[in-house]
Structure 1
Amino acid sequence: MKGKKVAVVGSGVAGLSTAYLLSREHTVTIFEREAAVGMDAHSLDAHGARMDIPLRVFSESYYPNLCSIYKHLGVKYRHADYSFSCRPAAAAASYFRYINFFVADMALPLPLCLNVRELFKCVRLAFQFAHFVNRAPAKLAAEAGELRLGTFLERHGYSKEFATCLLYPMLSVVCTCSYASVEAYPASIVVDYFANKYGLSGAQCRAYEGTRDVVDRITQPVERVITSATITRVDAAQPFAGGRERALVTWRGADGRELSEEFDEVVLAMQANASLRVLKTRELSQIEALASFKYESKRVVLHTDASLMPPNERDWSPLNIVAAPGADAASVTVWMNRIDGDLRRELKGPIFQTWNPDVEPSKGSVLADYSFERPVVTPASEAGMAQLATSQGVGHIWFVGAYARYSMPLLENGVKSAMEVSRRLGVDTSDIEVDELALERAALSGATRRQRTWGMLVLAAAVGATALHSRCYLF
């Protein structure tokens, strides 16, 4: 056995990244409650293709460390069309829509709206969004302290229409959370996300062979992977109290038997609320930190019911957001056939993945129906992140996950938390970890960013002028 004996509990992207990195120096066991490794646990084969549930896409500009691990593993990925439309109700026409033009490694968004009556609104929203991407970082830098997103938008004159019809629905989809949570997000996290994602490169990517290929590659160096393992408790080491020198993991297997095993270190790669339920420790700071994180649960349904798409098929986008007045969160239906070329060729007939459905798909059309919890950033969780950072490793218990760092709780944050814990456990990650500031400087200068975002404005204006002149649909 090499190095320490380490347990990683949970096999989402944070757990898998941690296990992969720690396997360089230590002997690692992964525990996963599902029958398959977590990142691929809900994917399925349907209509001639394998589909990830939930669908996982990423951009090289905002997910540099995830992309670095993928490259190191030999995981191939390519551009995915993640352009979207917004409409106020399931049966309504879109008031905002854009398409992507792929140029080299960039996706240039061109606002286009089939609904002539909403052209002014579409162009107006495009202008405001480009202004937000380009100018919000400087506006935020001039602020003395941290602001919530709603306060920032109001203070700097962004319209209610822009917030409720475009920005909040986008963030509700990205973060899988309610509008109330979006409005209360730290403005710095949101501005950083959009400035990097859209200011550097809007191109979204998808793993060429899906998450199964990622899982197969990333688990190769791991000593053991135990699936169908329901963790019932994790007891922290208590050498300072004359107790156990090592941490203890107890789980119930698929056959119902309860088993226990000691480890030198245990990394909890579950959601914070799940870790709170199983962790037994005298370290109150760990318990208090875990209790501070808030989660929201949303459904995702894979189905074939086209009635959840815009009524005019010419108005269909890869992502179709419904921002219904009075709803507590946005709904989005992903047209799986349009995400990338392979799915377009492989799928036999239209197939959709809907998050937080505002209208239920017909029963006969449903292929899969799951609920997922997602963390949201709140003032309490911000304090919890700081508290968790100072209590890492106490009792030989460590924590990784998208929730654990001050940033958008997405895949990249999970990878970063894995790298931080791996370094503290003696693993050299320098060949994989990305210097993000250097990457940003090398990728695109501030001047080029301005040219790109204001170029989007010119495109929007041109589209609006053309449409008004022709008084007809643009396709």
Structure 2
Amino acid sequence: MTPSDDKIKVAIVGTGMAGLATGYLLRQDELQRFSVTLFEKGDRISLDAASVTLVDERDGTCSRVDLPMRAFAGGFYRNLIVMYDHLGIRYHAKRFLFAFSDVTARLYGGRNDKEKSPSLSGADSPPHFIHSSNNHLIVPVRPPGAHAIGHLLEVVFVLACYVWYSLCCFLARPRAGESYGAYLRRMRVPQRFVRRYMAPLMSSVATCSHEELLAFPASDLTRYQREIFAADHFVVSHGVQDVAAVLSEGQDIRLASEVLLVEPCGSRVRLVWIQGPGEDVVEEFFGRIVLAIDPCAVAKVYAPLRSVMPRMPTRIVASAVLHGAGQSTTLRVAERSFKQNDTVGVDALVADTLLLRSDFKGSGCTEALHTVNCGAVVATSIAGGFGELNVLHRAAFWRVLRTPDSQEIVNSVLRNRDGTNGPRDYVGWHNGDDGVWLAGGWCWDGMVLLEGCIVSAVRVAQDFGVRIPWHSEAEH
């Protein structure tokens, strides 16, 4: 095989994990058939745009903090892990302590003027249960103030419910179009267990409210449970900045370029964008375009999907890095990123606490609070903003949710030409029509997580006839 002289121009809109992975795969084409350009409306690559480096002014030490937190588990994330191994990305196992706590008032509301920062330690509403990831602690941790007998009874209850729930996920497959809430009721999973444990835990993973989680397709959650069962949790050793750096190396990335229109024109596709604020509108023709953006953004720029994408539920999630309880204001956000000291050996042995505070009487949501090594707290507020708290850094990102209806839409749009996936009576737009493809964490039949980004990027590359380099190293 010899490289092609007449390259196909490809535009990729979006520089999240899906966009960068797609661009990387197309650059690995053995025939070098593609000239790839990535467009990003922000001034930084999207995958790592919200992450920050914190510097402790007392000793100058740096800590990289990913926002949102980027933990992943074996089994479910097999394609992500295979890609990381191929790219040489360092990651390590991380032990978590999941502390479940109830709140009767909003965590970020109702403070008087004398309160300058929240109690992020959870002392004002102590955890009612503490669970270790993969049970790395044989004896469950007894929460502060819990009576021994009461704690023992709670452990027995949770263990019995979890065993029953896991058996259901392995042995009783969901019905077509069945929601997660309906599946749990049909399996007779105790509602107390659902309300106090499963809903808070899984809504923190999906960054949505309990009500939205229970409306997910049951197949998403049961598959996730089966595939992460007894699997380790991992984090990238130096943050996703390493992933972004490797995937973007050598790529033509146009930052501060907001795409306004994607329009098929015969055998080509017209792309219209504006380069920076106040600049002139620019247009260019490409042979193929990949939209690696959220459904709302797709609807704005691509007319054939304008009526379908609004049926994909989305929400904006606020996240922030806060000062921890008792933490002095010695931490500041660095102007540029640094690699923190290599502490893989230590991190693998130390358990991090992830406090899941659930408001059942109010908004029915869970707020996840995770203390990082430098003492700061990564907070994901499902319900809203952070008021006037002492915030080191804040960000907001789009989260694509799932329902049985949106699941059917995705499966229909991504259906293969032979009709093996999705309803056969669907006659609308399909992935690849008019030279336009979709990619992203929501562009597959599963939880909207990083694994979906890699799966969708691989599918686009395969449609382009590109051999996936890591498929020869591990089974897909």
Band of TM-score, shorter chain: 0.7 to 0.9
Instruction: Find out whether 1:260 has 2:295 as its counterpart.
Output: no
SS of the aligned residue for 2:437 comes to strand
Q: Deviations over 1:55-109 (max 9, x none)?
A: 111112111111111111111111123331101025211111123479xxxx577
Within 5 Å, give how 1:103-114 maps onto structure 2. Answer: 111-114=140-143
- Normalising by structure 1, we get a TM-score of 0.78
SS of the aligned residue for 1:353 comes to strand
Shift of 1:152: 1.6
In percent, how many aligned pairs have the same letter? 22
Q: Distance in 2 between matches of 1:144 and 1:204?
A: 29
Q: Deviations over 1:212-241 (max 9, x none)?
A: 11111111242x01111111112223x2xx
Residue 333 of structure 1: aligned partner = 369
Q: Distance in 2 between matches of 1:109 and 1:145?
A: 38
Q: Distance in 2 between matches of 1:266 and 1:321?
A: 40
Q: 2:465 aligns with which of 408, 420, 426?
A: 426
Residue 166 of structure 1: aligned partner = 197
Shift of 1:352: 0.4
Instruction: Find out whether 1:129 has 2:162 as its counterpart.
Output: yes
Q: 2:411 aligns with which of 362, 386, 392?
A: 386
Q: Distance in 2 between matches of 1:425 and 1:395?
A: 14
- Unpaired stretches in structure 1, ≥5 consecutive residues: 240-244, 309-315, 338-346, 437-475
Instruction: Find out whether 1:16 has 2:34 as its counterpart.
Output: no
SS of the aligned residue for 1:154 comes to helix
Aligned residues: 399
Within 5 Å, give how 1:279-290 maps onto structure 2. Answer: 279-280=302-303, 283=304, 286-290=305-309
Amino acid at match of 1:321: L
Within 5 Å, give how 1:306-317 maps onto structure 2. Answer: 306=325
Within 5 Å, give how 1:228-377 maps onto structure 2. Answer: 228-237=256-265, 239=266, 245-257=267-279, 258-280=281-303, 283=304, 286-306=305-325, 318-326=353-361, 327-337=363-373, 347=374, 350-356=375-381, 363=388, 365-377=390-402
Residue 205 of structure 1: aligned partner = 234
Q: 2:210 aligns with which of 159, 179, 192?
A: 179
Superposition CA RMSD, Å: 2.4
Amino acid at match of 2:68: P
Residue 456 of structure 2: aligned partner = 417
Matched-pair contact (CA < 8 Å) for 1:61–1:200: no
Q: Distance in 1 between matches of 2:385 and 2:156?
A: 31
- Unpaired stretches in structure 2, ≥5 consecutive residues: 56-61, 104-121, 328-350, 416-429
Within 5 Å, give how 1:427-442 maps onto structure 2. Answer: 427-429=466-468, 431-432=470-471, 435=475
Q: Residues 361, 382 of structure 1: CA spacing in aligned structure 2 closer, same or farther, 3 A cutoff? A: closer
Q: Residues 108, 268 of structure 1: CA spacing in aligned structure 2 closer, same or farther, 3 A cutoff? A: farther
Q: Deviations over 1:398-449 (max 9, x none)?
A: 101111111011000111011111100111126338646xxxxxxxxxxxxx
Q: Deviations over 1:313-342 (max 9, x none)?
A: xxx9521001122223111101112xxxxx
Q: Deviations over 1:117-158 (max 9, x none)?
A: 451224422331233123432022xx6544221122112221
Q: 1:32 aligns with which of 33, 37, 40?
A: 40
Q: Residues 364, 329 of structure 1: CA spacing in aligned structure 2 closer, same or farther, 3 A cutoff? A: closer
SS of the aligned residue for 1:402 comes to coil
Instruction: Find out whether 1:403 has 2:442 as its counterpart.
Output: yes
Q: Residues 287, 84 of structure 1: CA spacing in aligned structure 2 closer, same or farther, 3 A cutoff? A: same
Shift of 1:254: 2.3
Matched-pair contact (CA < 8 Å) for 1:268–1:397: yes
Q: Residues 256, 80 of structure 1: CA spacing in aligned structure 2 closer, same or farther, 3 A cutoff? A: farther
- Normalising by structure 2, we get a TM-score of 0.78
Moved more, 426-435 or 204-213: 426-435
Matched-pair contact (CA < 8 Å) for 1:318–1:336: no
Higher helix fraction (1 or 2): 1
Q: Distance in 1 between matches of 2:431 and 2:383?
A: 41
Matched-pair contact (CA < 8 Å) for 2:83–2:470: no
